[in-house]
């Protein structure tokens, strides 16, 4: 799209980053299924490898289809640039990689996807990194946890599985005061419901596998850079503020300014970690994003109806949907997610674990899968699956206790969703603990 008026979200989700193919005139972004790209001459090749010119070298680093997706997501999030990669977990490592070094730590919310908790509490130890888990509703505790070795603060905008809303404005003030970036996982919200950069986030990560693609076909991840953080304000981030030996002393922040993090993510992160998104995955995600606003509106409408109905069911102990007036996050939701509280929440059953098992196994429209954000309604018992690696205290903190089921509301007919839940809940209510 050419520079011009400020386009609305619905227009940008279709057009941002995309242009007719110059060779064929194809209107839909082609799948550039190529590993390498021909250089004009040796000077051109050298300029690309020296980061003196932007272009395509090798698809581990850059690919035309993926490049369109990167520009589209960055535009929708209000960021300066983005780097796409192979999965949401890859995006988290890609986000931390330029910031961390042995002995450094991150401050992470206790309300995170179980796989993220495991990645942060176990896997990153192998890099010499560590994480401190804090309840982000306790702002004083977040502030107190930050020390001289802290290099990032990490949370989810809408937390998986409980649908809790993080007060991004308050947390960003704390991270800003400490001189460290705030990284926000916006997977469950998408930029249609929440734009974390507008609330002070430095970096935004996504599992594009979920709502952005929306059809359960491919995995992917993305890191969006706000372009607003001063990486040279201290000596905490030498990967971005100090000379890079692999590029003959080039300094990323000095050379690339607001795009420093993005260029580092490609030129170093993808080069050496190799967490590459394939062009077909980018293509599917681009097609999914074209209908993002329409789908998210329906997810929210259905979630609002279904959660209100569930809250009144005699077999249900509690519902965590932030769009309900009974939720402690109701007012915060309207500030952080003005277009709705999403389609993800949990339901606690009075019958406990055995009732949850019966409930999950009795559903017909809902698919029992380890995914969320699909057009289909999905269900899983988090404590025994996605959060299984956590201990009981961690499960409770994350909102994934044994009596809880995670529900991802799809875009089917709301009456059909409710009917399916009703028959399954009635069967679950008959189970004796």
pLDDT in tens, 176-213: 999 999 999 999 999 999 999 999 999 999 999 999 99
As a whole number of angstroms, the distance between CA 428 and CA 415 comes to: 20
Confidence band for 118, pLDDT divided at 50, 70 and 90 = very high
Which DSSP letter does residue 165 get?
Answer: B
What's the mean pLDDT in 396-423? 90
- Length of the chain equals 433
Tokens 């290099």, residue?
151
**Pairing label, strands 404-408, 182-185:** unpaired
pLDDT value at position 60? 96
pLDDT value at position 196? 98
Confidence band for 385, pLDDT divided at 50, 70 and 90 = low
pLDDT value at position 53? 94
Please check the confidence at residue 433 and state whether its pLDDT lies above 60: no
Confidence band for 393, pLDDT divided at 50, 70 and 90 = confident
Q: Cα–Cα distances in Å, from 391 out to 20, 264, 387? A: 52, 36, 9
Number of Cβ atoms within 10 Å of the Cβ of 231: 24
pLDDT by residue (tens digit) across 78-100?
999 999 999 999 999 999 999 99
Confidence band for 398, pLDDT divided at 50, 70 and 90 = low
Please check the confidence at residue 360 and state whether its pLDDT lies above 70: yes
Instruction: With beta carbons less than 8 A apart as the criterion, state whether 18 and 68 touch.
Output: yes
**Pairing label, strands 221-225, 203-207:** antiparallel
As a whole number of angstroms, the distance between CA 238 and CA 147 comes to: 18
Please check the confidence at residue 246 and state whether its pLDDT lies above 60: yes
Please check the confidence at residue 3 and state whether its pLDDT lies above 60: no
The CATH classification of domain 9-99+181-288, taken from the options 3.40.640.10, 3.40.50.1970, 3.40.50.620, 3.40.50.1000: 3.40.640.10
Q: Which residue has the higher pLDDT, 90 or 20?
A: 90
CB < 8 Å & 24+ apart, contacts of 123-132 = 124/93, 124/96, 124/100, 127/100, 127/102, 128/101, 128/102, 128/103, 128/104, 129/96, 129/100, 129/102, 129/104, 129/105, 130/104, 130/105, 130/106, 131/105, 131/106, 131/107, 132/105, 132/106, 132/107, 132/108
pLDDT value at position 22? 86
As a whole number of angstroms, the distance between CA 317 and CA 350 comes to: 5
Please check the confidence at residue 41 and state whether its pLDDT lies above 90: yes
Helices assigned H by DSSP within 106-181: 114-121, 139-145, 168-178
What's the mean pLDDT in 358-369? 95
Confidence band for 365, pLDDT divided at 50, 70 and 90 = very high
Domain chopping of the chain, boundaries: 9-99+181-288, 293-429
Task: Count Cβ atoms within 10 A of the Cβ of residue 19 and give its class: 0-12 exposed, 13-18 middle, 19 or more buried.
Answer: exposed
Confidence band for 388, pLDDT divided at 50, 70 and 90 = low
What's the mean pLDDT in 271-292? 98
pLDDT value at position 402? 83
As a whole number of angstroms, the distance between CA 21 and CA 164 comes to: 42
**Structure tokens belonging to residue 138:** 């306790």
The number of C-alpha atoms within 13 Å of 432 and in the hemisphere containing its C-beta is 0
Please check the confidence at residue 322 and state whether its pLDDT lies above 90: yes
Fold designation for 293-429: 3.90.1150
Please check the confidence at residue 396 and state whether its pLDDT lies above 90: no
pLDDT value at position 180? 98
As a whole number of angstroms, the distance between CA 371 and CA 378 comes to: 7
Tokens 């490898």, residue?
49
pLDDT value at position 5? 58
Instruction: With beta carbons less than 8 A apart as the criterion, state whether 68 and 13 touch.
Output: no
Confidence band for 403, pLDDT divided at 50, 70 and 90 = confident
Number of H helices, E strands in the chain: 18, 12
Confidence band for 383, pLDDT divided at 50, 70 and 90 = confident
Instruction: With beta carbons less than 8 A apart as the criterion, state whether 372 and 219 touch.
Output: no
Q: Where are the beta strands (DSSP E) in 211-366?
A: 221-225, 316-319, 344-349
**Structure tokens belonging to residue 157:** 């905008």
- Considering only CA atoms, which of 376, 347, 344, 381 is closest in space to residue 361? 381
Of 173-182, 210-219, 263-272, 394-403, minimum mean pLDDT range: 394-403
**Structure tokens belonging to residue 247:** 């590029």
């Amino acid at each position: 799209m050419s520079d011009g008026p400020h386009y609305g979200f619905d227009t940008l989700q279709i057009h941002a980053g995309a242009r007719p193919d110059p060779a064929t005139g194809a209107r839909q972004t082609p799948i550039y299924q190529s590993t390498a790209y021909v250089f004009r001459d040796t000077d051109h090749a050298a300029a690309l490898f020296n980061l003196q010119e932007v272009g395509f070298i090798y698809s581990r680093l850059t690919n035309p289809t993926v490049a369109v997706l990167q520009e589209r997501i960055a535009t929708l999030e209000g960021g300066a640039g983005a780097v796409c990669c192979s999965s949401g977990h890859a995006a988290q490592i890609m986000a931390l990689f330029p910031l961390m070094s042995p002995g450094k730590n991150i401050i992470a919310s206790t309300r995170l996807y179980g796989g993220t908790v495991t990645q942060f509490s176990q896997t990153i130890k192998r890099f010499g990194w560590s994480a401190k888990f804090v309840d982000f509703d306790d702002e004083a505790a977040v502030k107190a946890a930050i020390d001289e070795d802290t290099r990032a603060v990490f949370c989810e905008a809408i937390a998986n599985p409980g649908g809790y809303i993080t007060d991004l404005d308050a947390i960003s003030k704390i991270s800003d005061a400490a001189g460290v970036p705030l990284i926000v996982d916006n997977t469950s919200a998408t930029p249609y419901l929440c734009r974390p950069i507008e609330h002070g986030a430095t970096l935004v990560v996504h599992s594009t596998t979920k709502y952005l693609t929306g059809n359960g076909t491919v995995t992917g991840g993305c890191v969006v850079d706000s372009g607003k953080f001063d990486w040279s304000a201290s000596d905490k981030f030498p990967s971005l503020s100090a000379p890079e030996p692999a590029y003959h002393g080039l300094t990323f922040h000095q050379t690339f300014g607001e795009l420093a993090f993005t260029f580092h993510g490609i030129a170093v992160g993808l080069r050496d970690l190799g967490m590459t998104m394939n062009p077909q995955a980018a293509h599917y995600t681009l097609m999914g994003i074209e209908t993002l606003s329409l789908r998210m509106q329906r997810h929210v409408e259905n979630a609002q109806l279904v959660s209100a109905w569930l809250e009144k069911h005699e077999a249900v102990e509690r519902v965590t949907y932030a769009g309900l007036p009974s939720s402690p996050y109701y007012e915060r939701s309207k500030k952080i997610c003005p277009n709705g509280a999403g389609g993800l929440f949990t339901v606690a059953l009075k019958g406990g674990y055995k009732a949850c098992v019966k409930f999950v196994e009795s559903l017909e429209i809902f698919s029992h899968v380890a995914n969320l954000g699909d057009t289909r309604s999905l269900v899983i018992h988090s404590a025994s699956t996605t959060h299984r690696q956590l201990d009981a205290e961690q499960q409770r903190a994350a909102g994934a206790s044994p009596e809880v089921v995670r529900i991802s509301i799809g875009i089917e007919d709301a009456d059909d969703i409710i009917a399916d839940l009703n028959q399954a809940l009635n069967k679950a209510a008959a189970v004796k603990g």
